[in-house]
Amino acid sequence: MAKRIFITATNTDIGKTYVTSHLLKHYASLGFKVGVIKPIETGVVDAPIDGSLLLSLVQSLNPSMAKFDVNDIVPIQFQLPAAPYCANDAKPIDLSIVNEAIKKIEPLCDILIIEGAGGLYVPIDKNTMIIDLIKRFDAKALLVSHCRLGCINDTILSIKALQERDLNFIWTLNCHVDDQSFHQVSEPYFRDSFPDFTIFKDDIANIAKTLLL
C-alpha cells in the first residue's frame, strides 16, 4: 500500500489544491511515484476544476497514470457548490466508489495524496463528515490553516478536533502575499504557543519529510 496523506483545512478556499500540487511536485523531485485523488468535488459544471488541475499535474509527474481521466481522480461530483450533504439533497453517499478508485491508483504510486473538501466538519451525508475520511482511508493528515485575522481561533479548533479523534496529523499555515498583517496580529501567539509551527511555502521540505514518518 502506498503512503497515504490526507490534505484538509480549516475551511474552504484555504489552499488545499495549492498544497497538494506542491507536495506532489516535491515528492516527485525526490524520485517517488506520486498519485492523487480528490474523493468529492462540488461546484462541478462541465468538469471538476480542482480535479482537472490535479490530473494534469500528476500525469506529468507519473506517466503510468496517463490513461486515467478526471472521473478516476474525482469519483464523486456534484453541481451545486455546497457541502456534499446539501449538494446531494441529504441523500446517502456511497463512499465505496472512492475505495475502488483508490484501488486503481494506489498500485501505481509510492505516495497517494488524498485531498479533502472544505474543512473537517463539512457534512458528506447524515452519517459522515470530512474528518471521518482520514481514519477511513488510514491516512496521515496535513491540516492547512490560513494567515488572515481569525487564523488563531480556526487553527486551534481544527487541531482540537483532530486530537479528539486521536488522528495522526501535522499542521501548517498557508500564507498569501497579502497576509502582511499576520506577523503582527497572529504570529506572536503562534510563536509563544507553537514554537515549531511551519509556514508551508518556507517549510515544504520539512513538512513533506514529516508526513512520511
- Catalytically annotated residues: 38
Instruction: Give the whole-angstrom CA distance, residue 77 versus residue 100.
Output: 15
Phi, psi for residue 3 in degrees, rounded to 5: -70, 125
Q: Please state at what angle helix 49-61 crosses helix 16-29, rounded to 10 degrees.
A: 0
74 neighbors 42 (Cβ within 8 angstroms): no
50 neighbors 38 (Cβ within 8 angstroms): yes
| Other CB atoms within 10 A of residue 63 CB | 10
